[in-house]
Structure formats: structure tokens, C-alpha cells
Amino acid sequence: MPAPSKRDKQSIRKHEQNRPIRTHLRNISKNFYKALSAGEIERATQLRDEAQKSYDQAATKGIVHRNKASRKTSRLDKALAGSRTPDTN
């Protein structure tokens, strides 16, 4: 088996650096939706703001694609706006 190339080593190192950031993004989104389903609108709003900042930073650093970051924050906004409107049923 040949020795790993420099590119392979760099790729592994970057993967290890980016993994906790991606995990953090998933956890923020998960906690946002949990707070939303529990009816904690203030907490959900706070988590949405934190998520937007984190997604934008990750997109700037190239950890996630900028379109993905935009899509995720848009969905958080939409979910929050939907929970604020009273039911008309």
C-alpha cells in the first residue's frame, strides 16, 4: 500500500477540523425545532439567530456551500414565522 499523498493528509486534517462545526450546525437546528415544537418561541428565536450566524460563518469558510447555508436559514425563518401566526381553523 503506497504512502498517503500530501493532499490525502491535508484532506484528512481538514475533515477533522470541519467535523465539529458541522455537528454544531446540526445540533443548533435540532434544538431550534425542539424549542419550536415545545412552544418556546423566545428560545427558538434566539437559536435561529445563532444558527444564522453559524451557517453564515461556515459558508464563508467553505465548510458548507453558501446555497445550503441560505436554504437552511430560510427554512428556519419559515418555520418560525409559521409558528407565530395564530391558527385560523
- Answer whether residue 89 shows pLDDT above 60: no
Q: Range of 46's domain?
A: 41-82
**CB-based contact 72:57 (threshold 8 Å):** no
Does 33 reside within a domain? no
Does 18 reside within a domain? no
Higher pLDDT among residues 58 and 84, named by residue:
58
- Answer whether residue 88 shows pLDDT above 70: no
Distance of CA 9 to CAs 21, 49, 62, Å? Answer: 20, 35, 18
CA 8 remoteness from chain centre: 27
**Average pLDDT of 3-21?**
95
Q: Which three cell numbers stand for residue 37?
A: 415544537
Does 89 reside within a domain? no
Confidence of residue 41 (pLDDT cuts 50, 70, 90): very high
Please tell me the distance from the alpha carbon of residue 80 to that of residue 52, in angstroms, as a whole number: 13
Does 10 reside within a domain? no
Please tell me the distance from the alpha carbon of residue 57 to that of residue 71, in angstroms, as a whole number: 14
Confidence (pLDDT) at 84:
75
Confidence (pLDDT) at 19:
97
Confidence of residue 1 (pLDDT cuts 50, 70, 90): confident
